[in-house]
Amino acid sequence: MDLSAAARRPGRPPKRIDEGLETREALIRCGTRVLTEKGFAATGIDEVLKAVGVPKGSFYHYFANKEAFGQAVIDHYAAYFARKLDRIFLDASRSPLVRVRAFVNEACAGMARFDFRRGCLIGNLGQEMAVLPEAYRDRLEAVFLDWQARLAKCLRAARAAGEIAATADCDALAAFFWTGWEGAVLRAKLVRGEAPLRQFGEGFLAGLPRGFLSDPRRVAWNDSKERSMFKAVLIEKDDAGYRAGVTELDEGALPEGDVTVRVAYSTLNYKDGLAITGKGPVVRKFPMVPGIDLAGTVEASTHPDVAVGDAVVLNGWGVGEGHWGGLAQMARLKGDWLVPLPTAFTARQAMAIGTAGYTAMLCVMALERHGVTPAQGEVLVTGANGGVGSVAVALLAKLGYTVVASTGRPQEADYLEALGAAEIVDRTQFTEPGRPLAKERWAGVVDTVGSHTLANVCASTKYRGTVAACGLAQGMDFPSSVAPFILRGVTLAGIDSVMAPREERLQAWQRLARDLDVSKLEMITHEIGLAEVIDAAGRLMEGKVRGRLVVDVNR
C-alpha cells in the first residue's frame, strides 16, 4: 500500500514537530524587541502575546513566569550580540582599531534605523535592576564581562600589531570602554542622535596609549568595507531640466579628497540660493551638492596636519560650485581647505558667522590695512540686512566705528540699531545712476551690493577713504568713473573670500573670536533643517531673509 496516498482525517492538520520551538523563539524575539525599546517593568506579557498572536495559556506552556521569560530574552540577546562582536572584532581583513571603529559605525547605523528608540537591552535592564528579580544581577554582569573579554582580545591584537603601546592594559581598557559605551547609548536615546556614540568612540580611541606603528587618531572611521548612507541637497541638470532636492547618497559617491568630515552645521548663503534656484550660473558641474560653508568633525584623514576628531570649518574654495559642498551630512575635502574651529565658537556659532561673517571680517581688515580708523568718520555698510552686512555692522560697532546701515527694509531699523548701527538710510539714494563725484561723507565703506550702489558710494567717499567691495546683489557692473580714485585718492579694495590664502583665513577667524560680540549672533541667526533648505533658498532670492540662515544638516 502507498502510505503517502492515504486519506487524511478531517479537522485540523497534524501539528508540526517543530511548531512549539518556533512559537517559543517568536516569543523571545518579540520580547527582545519590546524590552530593548521599553524596558522590563513597562512591558506586559499581553503586549508580547498580542504581537506574536499566541494565547496566554500557551505562554505558560513555554515559560513558568515573566522572570523565566526575561532570562530567556537575556540569553537570546547575549548570544546574538556575541556573534555580532565576533563578526566585527575577529575580522582579519581589518586592522584591530578599525574593527573597533566599525563597531561604532554599525551601532550608529543600528540605532538610527529605529530612530534611536532602542538601545542596549543589557544596559536597559541594568538600569532597572532595583525592580528586577535578583537572579538577573549575576547574569547581566556575566554578559558585560563576556563583551569585555571579546573587546580585550581585539585590543591585544592591536597591541601585538603596534597600534597601541606594548604596556597597554587591554583588560582595563576594555572595561572602561563598556562602562562608557553604555552611557553613550543612553545619551544617544535621550538626544535621538548618534553624536554621543561618536564622541565617546573618538575619545576612547584618541586616548589609547600609542604604539610604534600608528597614531590611532589617524585611522579612518569608515574604511572601504564600512560605507554609510547620508542625506544631502543634490542639484541635477539633464534632459529633464534643472532641479534640486534632498536625497540620500552612498558615502562612496563622495568626491576625491584627503579628509572626510561628518558635517554638523552648514549655511544657506546668497550664492547657495543662486545655485539651488538656478537663478545664477554658479554650479560648474553636475550633479552638485551646494553649500559653501560647513563645520564638523573629521572622520578620516590622510592629511599630515588634520587628525581624526579635529573640529574644523570650511569657507569657499569653490566648494558647492565645482566640488561637493556642505549642505550634506558628510563631505570629502582637501585638508588644505580646512581651518581649525576656534575654541571661542561652537560649530553652530561658526556657521552663524560662516562665509558671510568671515567675508565681513576680511572687509574690516582691509579698511584697517588702508588706514581707516574710528576717528576719521562714518563707515557705511550697504545691504546691511544681509549676512555680510549684519556681521559687518556688529563688528564695526564693537570696534568703535560710527556705522551707517543702508537697507531697503526700513522696518528692520530696530534690528540694525541693536547690532550697533548709529543711523539707518534708505538704499534708494544709492541705487540709481549718480554723478562721478558727490559730497564727501564716508571714511570707509563695506559694499555688498555692486553696480550703481558701488559707484555712488565711491563717489561720496572722503579723501583717501577706502571702499571694501565684496558683493554683487544689485549687479556685476560698475558704472563709475576714475574721478574718485584720481582726484580723491579713494582706494577700492576687492575682497575675495573664496580663494583667500590660508594665513589670511586663520587671521580672520582669530579676529572674529576676539572682536565679534557672540551675544549678537542669535539676533542675526535663524536655524533651519536640511529639509527646509529648498524653500528657504526661494525666500532668500526674494529678499525675504535677514541675517544668517544656519542649517542643521542632521534634522
Q: What is the CATH number of the domain that holds 330?
A: 3.90.180.10
Q: What is the pLDDT of residue 144?
A: 87
CA dist 535 → 280, 430, 467, 532 (Å): 17, 30, 34, 6
What CATH number has the domain bearing residue 383? 3.40.50.720
Q: Which pLDDT score, from 0 to 100, does residue 218 have?
A: 43
Residue 106 lies in a domain: yes
* Contact criterion met (CB below 8 Å) for 549 and 526: yes
* Average pLDDT of span 273-279: 95
- Is there a single domain that holds both residue 357 and residue 337? no
% of the chain beyond a pLDDT of 90: 58
Residues 56 and 130 in one domain: yes
Q: What pLDDT shows up at residue 211?
A: 55
191 and 273 housed in the same domain: no
Other Cβ atoms less than 10 A from the Cβ of 547: the count is 23
pLDDT at 379: 98
Residue 121 above 70 pLDDT?
Answer: yes
Mean pLDDT, rounded, for 472-483 = 94
The three cell numbers locating residue 394: 556688529
Residue 304's domain spans which residues? 229-341+522-552
**Rounded distance, CA 227 to CA 81, Å?**
21
| Domain final residue pick, 215, 250, 278 | 215
Q: Do 279 and 170 fall within a single domain?
A: no
Q: Indicate if 208 and 178 belong to the same structural domain.
A: yes
460 falls within a domain: yes
Write b or e for each residue in 248-276: b if 16 or more Cβ atoms lie within 10 A of its Cβ, otherwise e. Answer: ebebebbeebebbbbbbbbbbbbbbbbbb
pLDDT average, residue stretch 411-417: 92
For the chain, how many structural domains are there in total?
3
Indicate the average pLDDT of the chain.
87
Q: What is the pLDDT of residues 45-96, one digit of tens each?
A: 677 777 777 777 767 777 777 778 778 878 888 888 899 999 999 988 888 9
DSSP state of 269: -
Name which of 40-49, 198-207, 338-347, 446-455 the model is least confident about.
40-49
- The pLDDT of residue 7 is above 80: no
Report the length, in residues, of the chain.
555
Residues 493 and 529 in one domain: no
If asked whether residues 184 and 259 sit together in one domain, one would say no
The Cα 420–Cα 516 span in angstroms is 12
545 part of a folded domain: yes
Q: Is pLDDT at 16 greater than 80 in this prediction?
A: no
Q: What is the DSSP letter of 5?
A: G
- pTM above threshold 0.75: no
Question: Is 213's pLDDT higher than 70?
Answer: no
For residue 222, tell me if it sits in a domain.
no
Write the single-letter amino acid at 163.
E
pLDDT class of 146 with cuts at 50, 70, 90: very high
Find the mean pLDDT for residues 170-199: 91
Mean per-residue pLDDT, 342-366:
94
Q: 125-147 burial, b for 16+ CB within 10 Å, e for fewer?
A: bbeeeeebeeebeebbeebbeeb
Span of 125-134, 291-300, 521-530 with lowest mean pLDDT: 125-134
Distances 112 to 107, 153, 189, 321, 525 between C-alpha atoms, Å = 8, 28, 10, 31, 29
pLDDT (0 to 100) of residue 15? 37
**Is residue 192 over pLDDT 80?**
yes
The answer on 304 and 403 residing in a single domain is: no
pLDDT tens readout for residues 365-406: 999 999 999 999 999 999 998 889 999 999 999 999 999 999
Is the residue at 480 inside a domain?
A: yes
Residues 400 and 437 grouped into a single domain: yes
Supply the pLDDT for residue 22: 74
What's residue 163's pLDDT? Answer: 83
In a domain, 269, yes or no: yes
The reply to whether 11 falls in a domain is no
Both 134 and 161 in one domain: the answer is: yes
pLDDT bracket for residue 452 (50, 70, 90) = very high
Q: Is residue 449 part of a domain?
A: yes
312 pLDDT band (50/70/90 cuts)?
A: very high
Decide which of 215, 245, 276 is a domain's last residue: 215
What mean pLDDT is predicted for residues 472-500?
A: 95
Contact 229, 248 (CB under 8 A): yes
Provide CB contacts within 8 A for 66, sequence distance 6+.
45
Q: Within 10 Å of residue 377's Cβ, how many Cβ atoms?
A: 16
Statement: residue 19 has pLDDT above 50: no
Q: What percent of the chain has pLDDT over 70?
A: 91
How would residue 6 be classed by pLDDT, with cut points 50, 70 and 90? Answer: very low
Distance in angstroms (rounded) separating the CA atoms of residues 502 and 157: 41
Query: 23 falls in which pLDDT band (50, 70, 90)?
Result: confident
Compare 219 and 424 and report the one with higher pLDDT. 424
pLDDT confidence tier of residue 42, bands split at 50, 70 and 90: low
If DSSP states are collapsed to H, E and C, what string results for 305-358? Answer: CCCCCCEEEEECCCECCCECCCCECEEEECHHHCEECCCCCCHHHHHHHHHHHH
The confidence score (pLDDT) of residue 43 equals: 65
Same domain for 196 and 134: yes
The pLDDT assigned to 423 comes to: 97
Claim to verify: residue 165 and residue 250 sit in the same structural domain: no
Q: Which of 36-50, 330-344, 411-425 has the lowest mean pLDDT?
A: 36-50
- What integer is the mean pLDDT of 479-500? 95
Last residue of a domain, one of 169, 184, 215: 215
**For residue 219, is pLDDT > 70?**
no
pLDDT at 17 over 80: no
Q: What mean pLDDT is predicted for residues 516-528?
A: 88
For position 39, which CATH number holds?
Answer: 1.10.357.10
